[in-house]
Amino acid sequence: MTRLFLLILSILPIVSSSSHSHPVGDDESIFHHSHSSGTQPFLLAQASPTERRDDPNIQSIAASFHAFHPLVQTRADNNFLYVESNSMPEHPMMVGITAWQQQVPLPQPYTGDNAWRIPLAPKPAANPLSAKSNFFRGAIALAANGVPIFNPIKNDGKTDTFLAGELDEYGGHSGRADDYHYHIAPLHLQETLGKSLPVAYALDGYPIYGLEEPDGSKVEKLDAFNGHIGPDGDYHYHATKTYPYLNGGFHGEVENRDGQVHPQPRAKGVRPYTRPLRRAKIIAWEEPNEQSYSIEYTLNRKSHFVNYTLLDNGSVRFDFVDAQGNTTTETYDGKSVRGGGSREERNNGRNRDRQDRRPRDELERQRADSSDRGPRGPDPNDPNRKPWIEAHAAEVDADKDGEVSRPELIAEIAKTLQTMDTNSDKSISKEEAQARGNRLPMAGFVKGHFDELDKNSDTKISSKELSDSFLRMYDRQGQKKRK
Ligand SMILES: [Zn+2]
Ligand SMILES: [Zn+2]
């Protein structure tokens, strides 16, 4: 049990040390769409509605966000404009990413106390802070459509997410909490906003305009943070097509706490974070219905899918479909990655589907290392992957002498065939391979590699096909060891 705890802890998001890891909150309202709470475009706090609604300053700052009502909601007090959203924009996401961490966009609870704050009266900082050496965690700006914008540079201090292929065609991707965010200025929002409104606000309260001045004139000299005093006499930033892309730091005052602007909303993940999938390219995004999403990606020119659905009880169901059409399902209720709660609760919160009970570390490793076959079907010839026999040695080693012998492996093959061949025709059909509830060590491999094991493509794995493949793996492994 202790080992399991450690395992789970070791794959929980490391919330304090990465630009893509966000502190996880306890908010249960993650999947409540922010626009379900009312139709008023402008909610007001701590002041009489007429008084604040007429405040031209607030009106002008809120104008960009109003353009995306009801997806985005605003309210204000004397100091801040509060912006609520679920960070799910109205455009396709993830398409075009060639350096993918296998995260997907999930609605985030940026509402109520966890809303974004834009200072109504930005103040120039005595010591302006550059984003070249600070703020690698969390957001530095908020797009008009309620999507946060992170530093274009990752927390290694040098990787440009845009140039590294990590961003989709809109300049966004999902972080470790499956939280969608941009890393460059969202110029595409000008289709809705026109050129006279800011596309985003930096978290110091200064607006970020597009590539031209709001009146359409050419932008004159910018400072190191992409900002200047505009034609109207006020400071603002501009988007650029090259680094820093948006505000390259903060002309105005912000609190820098633990490497991020403080305070700011917390993203909430529902599952342990995933790993990079080398050579994957995301080619399509679909929303089959209001609560379902589908990401298609290719790996060696073969299509794979991550399909996921927000369930009514707040869980998220993931269906991973590999190139052969095999589906593996995982369901997460989010409790396993809550910031609070005991370890016991985290452990119980994980609710992986019965059909896949392989050890967690194996799943993680497969996601990380399966460079050819997708997250569910690692190539047995991939040298980066731990060989199946090594990964399952403890289970197959019947006499527990610490070594898997050839006879032990042959016995395991026989047992697998006997168990999976439910109609006793001395072979495993596709249906038999997909059957649930089979916990034999080889069962997962047989299911995930059906077509490769079925050498003569007669849609059955014969006893010879099964033993040939495993014994070849065994012998090759033995040769490697002897070298
Ligand atoms: Zn990011
Ligand atoms: Zn300007």
| 80 Cα–ligand 2 center, Å | 23
| 306 Cα–ligand 1 center, Å | 19
Q: Which ligand is nearest to the CA of 136?
A: 1
Instruction: Specify whether 254 is located in the same domain as 395.
Output: no
Residue 332 maps to a domain: no
pLDDT of residue 26: 32
| 221 Cα–ligand 2 center, Å | 9
| 19 Cα–ligand 1 center, Å | 7
Instruction: Specify whether 251 is located in the same domain as 392.
Output: no
Instruction: Specify whether 254 is located in the same domain as 399.
Output: no
Distance CA 467, CA 434 (A): 19
Q: Which ligand is nearest to the CA of 196?
A: 2
| 223 Cα–ligand 1 center, Å | 25
| 160 Cα–ligand 1 center, Å | 10
Phi, psi of 415 (to 5 degrees): -65, -40
Of 262, 282, 299, the position where a domain reaches its end is: 262
For the chain, give me the number of helices (H) and strands (E)?
13, 24
pLDDT of residue 376: 34
Residue 278 maps to a domain: no
| 476 Cα–ligand 2 center, Å | 65
Q: Alpha helices, DSSP H only, in 310-458?
A: 343-349, 360-369, 388-391, 393-396, 406-420, 430-434, 443-448, 450-453
| Counted domains in the chain | 2
Of 217, 234, 262, the position where a domain reaches its end is: 262
Residue 448 maps to a domain: yes
> Which residues are paired to 461 by β-bridges?
428
Give every residue of the chain whose pLDDT is below 50, as ranges.
1-51, 338-385, 483
Output the pTM of the full model.
0.64
pLDDT of residue 481: 58
Residue 16 maps to a domain: no
293's CB contacts (< 8 A; 6+ apart) are: 104, 105, 285, 286, 287, 307, 308, 309
Q: Which ligand is nearest to the CA of 218?
A: 2
Of 226, 243, 262, the position where a domain reaches its end is: 262
> Which residues are paired to 100 by β-bridges?
277
Range of the domain at 458: 388-482
pLDDT of residue 350: 35
Residue 401 maps to a domain: yes
Distance CA 429, CA 16 (A): 48
Neighbours of 307 (CB within 10 A): 19
Residue 17 maps to a domain: no
> Which run of H or of E encompasses 296?
strand 292-299
Q: What is the CATH number of the domain that holds 450?
A: 1.10.238.10
DSSP, res 285: E
Q: Which ligand is nearest to the CA of 209?
A: 2
**Amino acid at the residue 276:** P
pLDDT of residue 474: 78
Q: Which ligand is nearest to the CA of 20?
A: 1
Residue 5 maps to a domain: no
296's CB contacts (< 8 A; 6+ apart) are: 282, 283, 284, 285, 286, 303, 304, 305
> Which run of H or of E encompasses 465?
helix 463-482
Quick check: helix, strand or coil at residue 143? strand
Residue 364 maps to a domain: no
| 234 Cα–ligand 2 center, Å | 9
Distances (CA, A) of 483 to 164, 360, 455, 479, 480: 38, 31, 29, 6, 5
| 137 Cα–ligand 1 center, Å | 9
